[in-house]
Amino acid sequence: MTCENRSLPEEDGRETRPSGVVSRAVAPPRDEGPCRSFEDAHRRYARFLLQVIRRRGIDETDAMDVRQKVLVRLARRFEVPGRVPERLVPVLLGLVDDEVKNHVRSVRRRRIGGEPEADTMPSSKPDPEQLVGGAEDSAEQKRVVEAIFARMTPDAVELIRLARLRELPLEDIAEMRGELPGTVAVKLHRARCWFKELGERMYDLQNGSWRKR
């Protein structure tokens, strides 16, 4: 990633684009000093991140997904001492740039390749939302889901059940568990990735049926 291609925030709240055109940028929150934890960073910057991503032309639903990926990457930085600088905004803008570019490339690949959307038909690679969502209606999918859940921690299983089967919003799940929404968001993302990894390792979709590998 090169600095020349990135929009840089100026002190007066504007951003200068590579074309030289200056436009009004989303003003970051007031500087409260270094963030001491991921939860602190989430509290300060979650809303700011969503606004920045929306300004890049991403619709609201996709912007939430892009922000989630940015937050997961940020949480990983907090796990390693010394990886979070005092000035966090430039780091956040860099992560946003990366994930917006990844999102745009993904959308372009789907359009060019004619790939179906993940939530419209089953994939050869199990998707947690597809499998868990159909488990209540299909005995076969329920068997597969429970087999995968058996290899996961109770905490990860609970998060997926609350988010998918009960369709609770993130804020309600956080309140039930006594945790911050940012913490729950990261844990839920990791739980879904774990489910997907196990599903791909354990099962294969053949002629509409899930076969054990």
Could you state, in chain order, the average pLDDT of each consecutive group of 10 residues for the chain (213 residues)?
Answer: 36 40 65 85 89 90 85 85 85 91 83 51 48 66 87 91 79 85 85 86 70 77
Strands 14-16 and 203-206: unpaired
CA gap 37, 157 in Å, rounded:
26
For the entire predicted model, the pTM comes to: 0.55
Question: Can you tell me the distance from the alpha carbon of 92 to that of 39, in angstroms, rounded to the nearest whole number?
Answer: 15
In the chain, % helix, strand, coil (3-state, to 5) comes to: 60, 10, 35
* Burial (CB count within 10 angstroms: exposed 0-12, middle 13-18, buried 19+), residue 147: middle
pLDDT of 208 reads: 57
Q: Are 124 and 205 in contact (CB under 8 A)?
A: yes
Domain boundary assignment for the chain: 3-113, 128-212
Q: Give residue 129's pLDDT.
A: 58
Amino acid 175 reads: E
- CATH number of this structure's domain 128-212, picked from the four choices 1.10.10.10, 3.40.30.10, 3.30.70.2660, 2.40.50.140: 1.10.10.10
Give the containing element (helix H, strand E) for 206: strand 203-206
- Rounded to whole angstroms, the Cα distance separating 87 from 29 reads 12
**Coil vs helix vs strand at 144:** helix
Inter-CA distances, 31 with 9, 45, 75, 100, Å: 14, 11, 20, 25
What is residue 150's predicted lDDT score, i.e. its pLDDT?
A: 92
Task: Report which residue type is found at 23.
Answer: S
Task: Specify the pLDDT at position 117.
Answer: 45
> What architecture (CATH level 2) is domain 3-113?
Orthogonal Bundle (1.10)
Q: What is the dihedral of CA 103, 108, 113, 114, to 10 degrees?
A: 90
- Beta carbons of 212 and 132 less than 8 angstroms apart: no
Cα dihedral 94/97/100/104 (nearest 10): -150
Q: Residue 8's beta-bridge partner residues?
A: 16
